[in-house]
Amino acid sequence: MSKKNNEMNKKVNEIMKTDVYTVSDEATIKDVLQALVDRKTSGVPIVNAKQQVVGFISDGDIMKFIAKQNPRIIDMTSFITVWYDTESFEKKLHDLMELNVMELATTRLVSVETDYDIDEVAKVLGEKKIKKVPVLEDGKLAGIISRSDILRYILGTYLEKEAAAEAE
């Protein structure tokens, strides 16, 4: 990627959050929901016993499970049956809470490295249509960066330049 002489060349490790909350690959969805609510976040990386990132779970993954899908079409040995989802919300919620996080998590991990430029990270987030992405260094979790982190950085940089220009 060509280097431009602007602030978008700043590296992700300069603005990423390093106080990343993770959940174990043995956690339940109830554990995840508690973490999302307590941390006021929309998603968290999932780590194994070796602290390697093995997945990511977001509020969107959980919403997909809860959502009704009417009608549902099931093909059973050449019979096509239309089945309407009659499970109650309460039943789905109960079932959801007991699931292992890996049953709903995204395991095809999208990540970036600490030496990525901000514009490269913005491109990954935009192309993959995701809100945040784990930042790895030597295969280990070093931080996390979100669209809002990048937007705050861009706005802050712009406002600083505007203030400097007005002061001249």
Per-residue confidence (pLDDT) for residue 68, from 0 to 100: 55
CA–CA separation, 134 and 111 (whole Å):
5
Q: Is the pLDDT of residue 146 over 50?
A: yes
83 - beta bridge partners?
72
User: 22: how many CB neighbours lie within 10 A of its CB?
Assistant: 17
Per-residue confidence (pLDDT) for residue 67, from 0 to 100: 77
Mean pLDDT confidence for 135-157: 93
Give buried/exposed letters for 23-37 (b at 16+ CB in 10 A, else e): bbbebbbeebbebbe
Q: How confident is the model at residue 9 (pLDDT cuts 50, 70, 90)?
A: confident
**Mean model confidence pLDDT for the chain:** 84
| Choices 3.40.50.150, 3.40.50.1370, 3.10.580.10, 1.10.10.10: CATH for 9-167 | 3.10.580.10
Helix, strand, coil in percent for the chain, rounding step 5: 40, 25, 30
Please check whether residue 29 is in contact with residue 47, taking contact to mean a CB–CB distance below 8 angstroms: no
The DSSP code for 13 is: G
Q: Is the pLDDT of residue 83 over 70?
A: no
CA–CA separation, 49 and 22 (whole Å):
12
Sheet holding 23-24, edge to edge: 23-24, 43-47, 53-58
Q: pLDDT digit string (tens) for 45-77?
A: 999 998 899 999 999 998 888 775 444 444 444
DSSP characters for 83-102? Answer: E-----HHHHHHHHHHSBGG
Please check whether residue 137 is in contact with residue 122, taking contact to mean a CB–CB distance below 8 angstroms: no
What is the value of pTM for the model shown?
A: 0.76
